[in-house]
Amino acid sequence: MSENRSAMMENIKTVLVIVLIAGGAAALLAMVKLATADAIAAAELAETKKGVSLVMPKDVKVDVTKTIEMNNGEKAEVYYAGLNDAGEVTAIAVKTYSKKGYSGKIGVLVGYTGLESPETLKVNRIYILSHAETPGLGAKINVCQQESDPEKCDGAFWTKYWQLPVDETTLSVTKDNPNGAIVAITSATISTRAITGSVLETGLFVKENLDKIKAELLKANAAQGDK
């Protein structure tokens, strides 16, 4: 009986120790999270700013604090207006994400131009904000992103999308549709499909709601500009 009891005590002690260690770890992490939350938010904003300025054509003015959120199907996307000197929206950058990556969400910024009519809409360029794809394979989506001249990034992932029109045929991976414009990264078809999918999906949404989005962006700009 007493032997059983001591074995029992031993088990309880084991469980307690593990619970205590896990609890201590959780407390420590909570403190670090609180301490770094502001800095992480600031760093992410800076990254978004840099990304937005890269995906937009050079001749537009962008203020990343003036945004609207749109609900594209099931996900919320953030829209940034690129304004010309006359104050018209001539480019849109959209912050979206794909859940279909090989490992976790892929955050993507897409710049669209040709906003005169839904038919002329095209992708200006894309920028990968965040990803957790396999290093050496899917992580190649990140290559040469800081460069603004596609000529200098021979074959880099983002250059595949450079200036493509928004339609289902062009924005598809050649493995799925021989007429598509996107050749998948070797051994990273899943990552390529995920990003191509969200560029297309978002593009079609912009196409359908073009006037509404432009109006909303102008409204947001005017409203926040007054403050």
| Residue ranges that bind another protein, judged by CB under 8 A | 10, 13-14, 17-18, 21-22, 25, 28-29, 32-33, 36, 39-40, 43-44, 46-47, 103, 130-136, 139, 142
- To another protein, the closest distance from the beta carbon of 96 in angstroms equals 18
CA distances from 145 to 23, 76, 77, 141 (A): 41, 24, 21, 9
- 3 state SS of 135: coil
Which residue's CB is nearer to another protein, number 21 or number 76?
21
- Cβ-contact 69, 22 below 8 angstroms: no
- To another protein, the closest distance from the beta carbon of 193 in angstroms equals 20
Which residue's CB is nearer to another protein, number 95 or number 131?
131
Which residue's CB is nearer to another protein, number 48 or number 172?
48
Q: Single out the residue of 85, 17, 72 nearest to residue 198, CA to CA.
A: 72
Give the span between the Cα atoms of 18 and 204, in whole angstroms: 51
Which residue's CB is nearer to another protein, number 17 or number 222?
17
- To another protein, the closest distance from the beta carbon of 133 in angstroms equals 8
**DSSP tag of 133:** P
Distance between the two ends of the chain, CA-based, in angstroms?
A: 77
- To another protein, the closest distance from the beta carbon of 81 in angstroms equals 25
> What φ, ψ does residue 169 adopt, rounded to 5°?
-75, -50
- To another protein, the closest distance from the beta carbon of 33 in angstroms equals 6
Which residue's CB is nearer to another protein, number 48 or number 221?
48
- To another protein, the closest distance from the beta carbon of 17 in angstroms equals 6
List Cβ neighbours of 134 (8 Å cut-off, separation of 6 or more).
102, 103, 188
Which residue's CB is nearer to another protein, number 82 or number 101?
101
Give the span between the Cα atoms of 48 and 44, in whole angstroms: 6
CA distances from 216 to 58, 174, 221 (A): 22, 35, 8
